[in-house]
Structure 1
């Protein structure tokens, strides 16, 4: 949920496990309903250096269909009097329901590659993704789960809050330590805003959110 800041930028082996097949990423208890994460999103631009504190909670997960959803709470947004909460829906790159190519939200395959290659864990997959978006990859035992998170609406503030949710996040989840890294994509916002989250020690109890009704 970054501030809309227009800014110019420039960016940018073999597949792991080379066997074909459309299998789902391994299920990790840290990527389950109720799990909470906490960290920061860097919203720096040429004019300022700024990081917002961010909390995320998983609200729903359907691995068979490559779907998950949750809430994201930004705590120290300069133009907001209260924490800003959004509801997001996610696509799990499982090579069955979704590939590494987004195909919507204004992202081209070139945009996809530029963002996925920001994750070191993506490097072994790059050559196969270049060919078919990763359709022939077997990610079942890969220790990282790649996702896209798209914020759908503001939960507790209006659309005039000074923030935009027009873009989406490229996300990489580590099943080893439960950490999440992401990069926000929106052509009209400053590029490669980095999201860094760690699973909270409380597990499914997580941290305390204010009470919001999702509709």
Structure 2
């Protein structure tokens, strides 16, 4: 299956995205600058991996860098989990036309091969440049929607131990290395899209 072309942007290896993650709570209003770079992309098999970098994190001396992997749900529709995910996917207007069918059979009968959006579930696997005592958690995962029309990414972070529905907003960057500070890192041991925790 060919990689989808999005104007001047593509969902492909080495593509960079930049934006924010809103981590506000009742006690504080806070947003982190976030950079994402795709390191591997196999849309035919429903898999994507990369890195996520969070800047201006309180009490952190350097940007926090995580390895992440993803299942591309638009191609593996049986991975929609109505019992767990409806309240998260329903926050996306692009998901509304699919809701009734996902509730009926998990979306198995849907054909999203030409759908204007690609739905993914991102999971942070481990910190690259900080220890486990850094004060941040990667226990949750992201529900993510990629727009094929403008290359933007919107998502919500799901972790019962963090502020609920932290909103992720990213724009496709024409610069491969926009904002990234970790050129010396190499990532190994990619996780299969069949891993059940995603």
Partner of 1:178: 151
Query: Which secondary structure does the structure 1 equivalent of 2:156 belong to?
Result: strand
Q: Within the alignment, does 1:81 sit opposite 2:61 as a pair?
A: yes
1:49 to 29, 46, 54: 29
Structure 2: 5+ residue stretches without partners? 189-198
Partner of 2:119: 146
Structure that is richer in strand per residue? 2
* TM-score, reference length from structure 1: 0.81
Q: Distance in 1 between matches of 2:2 and 2:117?
A: 8
Of residues 58-67 and 34-43 in structure 1, the stretch that sits farther from structure 2 once superposed is 58-67
Q: Within the alignment, does 1:207 sit opposite 2:178 as a pair?
A: yes
What RMSD over aligned residues (CA atoms) do the two structures have, in Å? 1.7
Partner of 1:21: none
1:95–1:137 contact (8 Å) kept in structure 2 = no
* TM-score, reference length from structure 2: 0.87
2:3–2:11 contact (8 Å) kept in structure 1 = no
> CA shift at 1:51, angstroms?
0.2
Cα distance change, pair 95–35 in 1 and its aligned pair in 2 (3 A)? closer
Q: Distance in 2 between matches of 1:97 and 1:155?
A: 31
Q: Distance in 2 between matches of 1:63 and 1:95?
A: 8
Q: Distance in 2 between matches of 1:50 and 1:165?
A: 18
Cα distance change, pair 25–175 in 1 and its aligned pair in 2 (3 A)? farther
Q: Distance in 1 between matches of 2:10 and 2:57?
A: 27
2:4 to 27, 33, 42: 27
Cα distance change, pair 94–138 in 1 and its aligned pair in 2 (3 A)? same
Q: Distance in 2 between matches of 1:97 and 1:126?
A: 12
Q: Distance in 1 between matches of 2:170 and 2:65?
A: 16
Q: Within the alignment, does 1:40 sit opposite 2:20 as a pair?
A: yes
Q: Distance in 2 between matches of 1:156 and 1:26?
A: 31
1:118 to 73, 91, 94: 91
2:64–2:127 contact (8 Å) kept in structure 1 = yes
